[in-house]
């Protein structure tokens, strides 16, 4: 029964792509309609970034987004609002492929996130699965075997305090990936939005080097431009979340209008 988990959240597809040296590309989800996630998955994205921190997505909505991509090739990641076991616990029971924990600033906070995501004895996650056990189709023993290393634990580095103790943070066992948050990191340095500022860039480069030296996955969430994308590729990313649903919708609508509107009235 151990292979039954393979179709639940596409985590094995994400891991396989990373193992093959392929870049995984995703995008942000903020709208509450799960059809958005289904569309993103059908479009061919490798993962979705379901945002409970900066969007109106509650637990029930997050579950709908997670289940919406099951029939696609996309792995659903959920960014929780903040690093607390009671917040993370019910999201884990939605059986996402990854949990993104924002604004981790210390090794102690990293340890707290890991413990929240793993069952005893490795952690302190409360036991109450439903979807993860295929609603009773598999045994508790098989379920615990399947989720021994699932979901992916992804910690966001987005504050200068985290940069200053990055060696201690990346040494915390159990983390699968680190994700840079360029805007919040620049803001914590008094330079909000200045992600190309030399000091901000140096801070991000340091984090990237330390993560890669630790043989952990490196990712980020950012906007797309040829220049920005090329810069991030030079840092050796394994995965990148580009843009967000509302921005894709707006740019598509604006592009259509600009392509079809004329200054003179039609005759």
CA distance 129 to 5: 13
SS3 6: helix
List b or e across 125-146, with b for residues whose CB sees 16 or more CB atoms inside 10 angstroms.
beeebeebbbeeebeeebbeeb
197: preceding bond cis by omega (within 30 degrees):
no
CA distance 13 to 220: 19
* DSSP states of 64-124: HHHHHTTTSSPEEEEE-SSS-HHHHHHHHTT--SEEEE----SHHHHHHHHHHHS-TTT--
SS3 33: coil
84 is catalytic: no
Which candidate in 54, 65, 159, 248 is catalytic?
A: 54
SS3 147: coil
What are the residue numbers of the active site?
54
């Amino acid at each position: 029964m151990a292979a039954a988990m393979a179709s639940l959240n596409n985590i094995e597809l994400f891991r396989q792509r990373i193992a093959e040296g392929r870049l995984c590309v995703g995008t942000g989800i903020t709208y509450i309609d799960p059809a958005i996630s289904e569309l993103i998955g059908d479009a061919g994205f490798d993962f979705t970034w379901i945002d409970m921190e900066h969007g109106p997505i509650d637990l029930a909505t997050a579950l709908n987004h997670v289940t919406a991509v099951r029939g696609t090739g996309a792995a659903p990641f959920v960014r929780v609002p903040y690093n607390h076991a009671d917040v993370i616990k019910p999201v884990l029971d939605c059986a996402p492929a990854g949990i993104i924990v924002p604004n981790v600033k210390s090794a102690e906070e990293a340890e707290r996130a890991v413990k929240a995501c793993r069952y005893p004895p490795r952690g302190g996650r409360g036991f109450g699965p439903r979807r993860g056990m295929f609603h009773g189709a598999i045994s508790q023993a098989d379920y615990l075997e399947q989720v021994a290393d699932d979901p992916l634990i992804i910690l966001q580095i987005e504050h200068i305090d985290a940069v200053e103790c990055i060696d201690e943070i990346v040494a915390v066992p159990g983390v699968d990936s680190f994700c840079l948050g360029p805007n919040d990191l620049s803001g914590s340095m008094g330079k909000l939005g200045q992600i190309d500022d030399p000091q901000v860039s140096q801070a991000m480069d340091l984090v990237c080097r330390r993560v890669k030296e630790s043989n952990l996955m490196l990712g980020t969430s950012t906007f797309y431009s040829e220049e920005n994308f090329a810069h991030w590729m030079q840092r050796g990313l394994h995965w990148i979340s580009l843009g967000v649903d509302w921005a894709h919708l707006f740019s598509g609508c604006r592009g259509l209008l600009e392509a079809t509107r004329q200054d003179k009235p039609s005759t």
